[in-house]
């Protein structure tokens, strides 16, 4: 996990990633002091790469009223403040994840009733087809070509703004049932035009968005795409099809496939467990020969090292562990007695003490075993 990794002109000091996680804490799309503290502290915590939460390219593309955006000059200034802190105070790199909620938008904050519509002031939704997330959710309108052109230009504009804000990398969110995912999965894509039916057709619009973003993003900076590698539902995307999806995005210029799964169909039957999504990363990496990032219930450094050493992924992203412990990577370095890990100079004494305490505990356990 402490080996460096390079994507185009960006070199990461280690393979640990702070996964994108919605915090529902913005006002009118603008990140604030919470986001500065949240992302800044995780950069100080030693991870090689920090992802933002899904940041939406239009006001109507937000999941909730608390979601961050990149469609206003105010957003650029606010994100620039965060990016500058990360760059000035740590060696971490920072990636902006861009997305559009599609038919899963206009919902309550994550700690309220999840995926439920707002009690009032809902905004209109659009998706690949007029298929609601559940019977309780708003029915989105099927996108017209004019809608598709407008959303594509919003993604391109957000990409230009990401350059202005100084991000090292951007990711396109094409997973979890949001707008672009609604095109990819046949469960929600009921179109009968050139954007529905075969996988090639279902990928046509997401690839169009990605190609337009890649053209607007500097050549020396990497791009990734997050996919749902399975719908966990009959007649949905499966692991074999996910390899073809990954290959298509790679051919369009993706440098990394962020391999998630599910959240595309309300009646899906996911199979949870330790490292439950890693097999999909493994398959894409070793069948398609692409760089991947594993994510999903990865919680300790032994798991991370095992995934990387076995060649199942190139990067390992941890979400919930970083929510409760922003210094997860520093603790992992201390536990493995890895002294070359960067530590904020202000925290060096704490790191030294932690390493001593962990070593002492290991010695005591070993002595107990001998007895």
* Three-state secondary structure call for residue 50: strand
- Please name the residues in contact with 302: beta carbons below 8 A apart, sequence gap of 6 or more: none
Residue 229 CA to residue 245 CA, distance in Å, equals: 8
Q: Which residues on adjacent β-strands are paired with residue 96? A: 170
Q: Which residues on adjacent β-strands are paired with residue 257? A: 225, 292
The residue from 178, 195, 205, 280 that is catalytic is: 178
Nearest to 16 by CA among 323, 286, 300: 300
> At CA 83, angle to CA 53 and CA 257, rounded to 5?
45
Other Cβ atoms within 10 Å of 38 Cβ, number: 22
- Six token digits for residue 156: 């391109």
* Three-state secondary structure call for residue 142: strand
Query: Is there a catalytic annotation at residue 178?
Result: yes
Question: Residues 147-153: contacts with CB within 8 Å, 24+ apart?
Answer: 148/205, 148/208, 151/57, 151/58, 151/61, 151/100, 151/179, 151/209, 152/208, 152/209, 152/212
Q: Are 260 and 227 in contact (CB under 8 A)?
A: yes
Kind and range of the H or E element at 14? none
Distances (CA, A) of 50 to 112, 276, 294, 312: 26, 22, 14, 21
Other Cβ atoms within 10 Å of 20 Cβ, number: 23
- Six token digits for residue 78: 């606010």
- Six token digits for residue 150: 């407008």
Alpha helices in the chain (DSSP H): 33-44, 73-89, 145-165, 179-184, 199-216, 239-251, 278-288, 301-309, 320-324, 328-335, 348-370
Q: Point out the residues that are catalytic.
A: 178
């Amino acid at each position: 996990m402490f080996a460096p990794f390079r994507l185009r002109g960006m070199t990461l000091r280690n393979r640990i990633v702070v996964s994108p996680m919605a915090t529902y804490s913005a006002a009118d799309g603008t990140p604030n002091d919470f986001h500065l503290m949240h992302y800044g502290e995780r950069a100080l915590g030693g991870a090689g790469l920090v992802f933002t939460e899904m940041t939406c390219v239009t006001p109507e593309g937000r999941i909730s009223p608390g979601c961050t955006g990149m469609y206003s000059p105010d957003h650029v200034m606010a994100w620039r403040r965060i990016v500058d802190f990360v760059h000035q105070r740590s060696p971490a790199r920072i990636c902006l994840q861009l997305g559009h909620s599609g038919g899963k938008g206009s919902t309550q904050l994550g700690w309220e009733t999840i995926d439920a519509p707002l009690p009032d002031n809902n905004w209109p939704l659009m998706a690949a087809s007029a298929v609601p997330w559940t019977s309780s959710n708003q029915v989105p309108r099927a996108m017209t070509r004019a809608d598709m052109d407008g959303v594509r230009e919003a993604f391109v504009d957000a990409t230009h703004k990401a350059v202005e804000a100084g991000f090292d990398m951007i990711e396109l969110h094409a997973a979890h049932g949001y707008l672009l995912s609604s095109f990819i999965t046949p469960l929600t894509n009921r179109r009968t035009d050139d954007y529905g039916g075969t996988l090639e057709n279902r990928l046509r619009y997401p690839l169009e968005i990605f190609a337009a973003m890649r053209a607007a993003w500097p050549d020396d900076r990497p791009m990734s795409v997050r996919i749902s590698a399975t719908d966990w539902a009959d007649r949905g995307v499966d692991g074999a099809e996910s390899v073809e999806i990954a290959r298509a995005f790679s051919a369009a210029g993706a440098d990394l496939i962020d391999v998630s799964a599910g959240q595309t169909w309300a009646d899906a039957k996911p199979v949870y467990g330790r490292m439950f999504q890693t097999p999909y990363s493994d398959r894409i990496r070793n069948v398609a020969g692409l760089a991947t990032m594993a994510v999903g219930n990865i919680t300790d450094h032994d798991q991370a090292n095992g995934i990387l050493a076995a060649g199942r992924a190139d990067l390992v992203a941890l979400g919930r562990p970083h929510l409760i412990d922003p210094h997860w990577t520093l603790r992992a370095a201390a536990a493995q007695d890895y002294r070359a890990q960067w530590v904020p100079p202000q925290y060096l004494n704490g790191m030294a003490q932690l390493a001593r305490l962990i070593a002492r505990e290991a010695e005591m356990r070993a002595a107990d075993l001998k007895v």
